């Protein structure tokens, strides 16, 4: 029996397998509203066998968008646009999650295929950015350090977006605390030089993340699972470490998180990363063992055998893939076929199930 295709229960939600679609930004929204692209893009993975599909980093406030074309959940128009996408995922047998995010100092940037790089100027639709400290990401505009009222606004923004996500029908919520975005900026001593209750010690640097988890849990109640994505290392001297990540992961679970989605990097340009197949899986194992928490693994996981081994080895409890789903939206069905797993196929595809 394939462990990858065994169910996983988080609170009241039982996911049909452990091969999930990682949140991936599409930079294709207008005023934060998902459109036709998202209606086709996300449900196709449900037909392809995914157990869980997590929609892209979705801004909880307008200034939290990575780019002007990011999705949002700061108003009810956006909520109503998400609802039919969620229904379509459900109709195809999978569960739907959404990643709630604030980009902090990495907001207001050009999308990947734009000719320009760096921050979008106000004259072309950009906006001022915020951060724990007034330290810019290299090549980006200087951010403003958040004051007390600004921090309260971030917490409220996450809670309000969580409420709209649940109203839209999402089964699961993920708090984005990774990849150099706002909550990660607070966690790392490379970007957080504050001297108040949100800076200095690890406990202080984790305070905003934990407050956000508390606020989202208050909205979600006791039944809805919450995931937290973290970058377990900055891959840079003096930055956030895997050992700290394990501690923070344990704290996150104490505050109501159910699974730590373990990634890495994204905070600074001088990071030193050696990307190779499964290169971030050991980080998920460190957080899983050190924090005694349920984890998801990511990072160049591209084959059925590789994904199965992540689960079988005890390195993580779920596999979140990104690029491989883009290359093959039926990665789940292909993996099940290769592993000989007996899973449900769309009736339209049954002729491809065994031969």
How would residue 290 be classed by pLDDT, with cut points 50, 70 and 90? confident
| Average confidence (pLDDT) over 302-322 | 97
Three-state helix/strand/coil letters over the chain: CCCCCCCEEECCEEECCCEEECCCCCCCCECCECCHHHHHHCHHHHHCCCCEEEEEEEECCHHHCCCCCCCECCCHHHHHHHHHHHHHHHHCCCEEEEEEECCHHHCCECCCCCCCCCECCHHHCCCCCEECCCCCCCCCCCCEECCHHHHHHHHHHHHHHHHHHHHCCCCEEEEEECCCCHHHHHHCCCCCCCCCCCCCCHHHHCHHHHHHHHHHHHHHCCCCCEEEEEECCCCCCCCCCHHHHHHHHHHHHHCCCCEEEEECCCCCCCCCCCCCCCCCHHHHHHHHHHHCCCEEECCCCCCHHHHHHHHHCCCCCEEEECHHHHHCCCHHHHHHHHHCCCCCCCHHHHHHCCC
User: What range defines the domain where residue 32 resides?
Assistant: 8-352
Over residues 178-205, the pLDDT tens digits come to 999 999 999 999 999 999 999 999 999 9
Q: Which two tokens stand for residue 79?
A: 């909520």
User: What's the CA gap between 312 and 184, in Å, rounded?
Assistant: 30
User: What's the CA gap between 288 and 280, in Å, rounded?
Assistant: 13
Mean pLDDT of the chain: 96
Could you tell me if 150 and 122 are in contact, meaning their C-beta atoms sit under 8 angstroms apart?
no
| Average confidence (pLDDT) over 274-286 | 94
pLDDT given for residue 111 in this prediction: 96
pLDDT given for residue 18 in this prediction: 98
159 in a domain, yes or no?
yes
CATH number at residue 48: 3.20.20.70
246 in a domain, yes or no?
yes
320 in a domain, yes or no?
yes
| Average confidence (pLDDT) over 117-141 | 96
Q: How many domains are there within the chain?
A: 1
Is 181 part of the annotated catalytic residue set?
yes
| Average confidence (pLDDT) over 314-333 | 97
How would residue 94 be classed by pLDDT, with cut points 50, 70 and 90? very high
| Average confidence (pLDDT) over 281-289 | 96
37 in a domain, yes or no?
yes
What's the whole-model pTM score?
0.95
pLDDT given for residue 155 in this prediction: 98
2 in a domain, yes or no?
no
Phi and psi, residue 320, nearest 5°? -110, 115
User: What's the CA gap between 42 and 182, in Å, rounded?
Assistant: 26
Over residues 43-86, the pLDDT tens digits come to 999 999 999 999 999 999 999 999 999 999 999 999 999 999 99
pLDDT given for residue 229 in this prediction: 98
- 355 has a pLDDT exceeding 80: no
3 in a domain, yes or no?
no
Distance of CA 237 to the CA centre of its chain: 25
How would residue 353 be classed by pLDDT, with cut points 50, 70 and 90? confident
How would residue 220 be classed by pLDDT, with cut points 50, 70 and 90? very high
Q: Which of 313, 180, 198, 287 is nearest to 234 (CA)?
A: 180
- 295-to-238, 263, 284, 349, 354 alpha-carbon distances in Å: 25, 10, 6, 32, 31
Could you tell me if 230 and 177 are in contact, meaning their C-beta atoms sit under 8 angstroms apart?
yes
* Long-range contacts at 78-82 (CB < 8 A, ≥ 24 apart): 78/32, 78/33, 78/34, 78/164, 79/164, 79/165, 79/167, 79/168, 80/168, 81/33, 81/34, 81/35, 82/34, 82/55, 82/165, 82/168, 82/169, 82/170
180 in a domain, yes or no?
yes
**Active-site option among 27, 181, 279, 349:** 181
Distance of CA 181 to the CA centre of its chain: 11
Distance of CA 128 to the CA centre of its chain: 24
pLDDT given for residue 283 in this prediction: 97
User: What's the CA gap between 260 and 294, in Å, rounded?
Assistant: 6
How would residue 165 be classed by pLDDT, with cut points 50, 70 and 90? very high
- 143 has a pLDDT exceeding 70: yes
User: What's the CA gap between 288 and 293, in Å, rounded?
Assistant: 5
Q: What is the chain's Cα-based Rg?
A: 19
How would residue 1 be classed by pLDDT, with cut points 50, 70 and 90? confident
Could you tell me if 170 and 226 are in contact, meaning their C-beta atoms sit under 8 angstroms apart?
no
pLDDT given for residue 338 in this prediction: 94
| Average confidence (pLDDT) over 14-23 | 98
pLDDT given for residue 170 in this prediction: 98
Over residues 223-270, the pLDDT tens digits come to 999 999 999 999 999 999 999 999 999 999 999 999 999 999 999 999
Over residues 33-53, the pLDDT tens digits come to 999 999 999 999 999 999 999
pLDDT given for residue 291 in this prediction: 82
Rounded to a whole number of angstroms, the distance between the first and last alpha carbons of the chain is: 19
pLDDT given for residue 153 in this prediction: 98
């Amino acid at each position: 029996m394939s462990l990858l295709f065994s169910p996983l229960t988080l609170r009241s939600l039982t996911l049909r397998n452990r091969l999930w679609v990682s949140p991936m930004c599409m930079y294709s929204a207008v005023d934060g509203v998902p459109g036709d692209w998202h209606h086709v893009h996300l449900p196709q993975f449900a037909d392809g066998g995914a157990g869980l599909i997590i929609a892209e980093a979705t801004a909880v406030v307008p200034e939290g968008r990575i780019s002007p074309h990011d999705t949002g959940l700061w108003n009810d128009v956006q909520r109503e646009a998400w609802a039919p996408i969620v229904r379509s995922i459900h109709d195809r047998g999978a569960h739907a999650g959404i990643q709630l995010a604030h980009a902090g100092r990495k907001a207001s940037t050009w999308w990947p295929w734009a000719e320009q790089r760096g921050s979008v100027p106000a004259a072309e639709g950009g906006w001022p950015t915020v951060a724990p400290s007034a330290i810019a990401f290299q090549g980006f505009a200087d951010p403003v350090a958040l004051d007390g009222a600004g921090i309260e606004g971030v917490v409220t923004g996450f809670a309000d977006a969580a409420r709209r996500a649940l109203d839209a029908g999402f089964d699961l919520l993920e708090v984005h605390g990774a990849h150099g975005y706002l909550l990660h900026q607070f966690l790392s001593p490379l970007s957080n030089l504050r001297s108040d209750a949100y800076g200095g010690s690890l406990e202080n640097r984790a305070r905003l993340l934990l407050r956000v988890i508390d606020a989202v849990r208050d909205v979600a109640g006791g039944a809805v699972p919450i995931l937290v994505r973290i970058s377990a290392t900055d891959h840079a001297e003096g930055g956030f470490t895997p050992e700290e990540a394990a501690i923070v992961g344990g704290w996150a679970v104490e505050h109501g998180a159910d699974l730590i989605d373990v990634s890495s990097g994204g905070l600074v340009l001088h990071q030193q990363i050696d990307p190779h197949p499964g290169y971030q899986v050991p980080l998920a194992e460190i957080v899983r063992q050190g924090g005694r928490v349920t984890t998801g693994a990511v990072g160049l996981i591209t084959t059925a055998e590789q994904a199965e081994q992540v689960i079988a080895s005890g390195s993580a409890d779920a596999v979140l893939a990104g690029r491989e789903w883009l290359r093959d939206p039926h990665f789940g069905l292909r993996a099940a076929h290769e592993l000989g797993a007996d899973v449900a196929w769309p009736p339209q595809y049954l002729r491809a199930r065994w031969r």
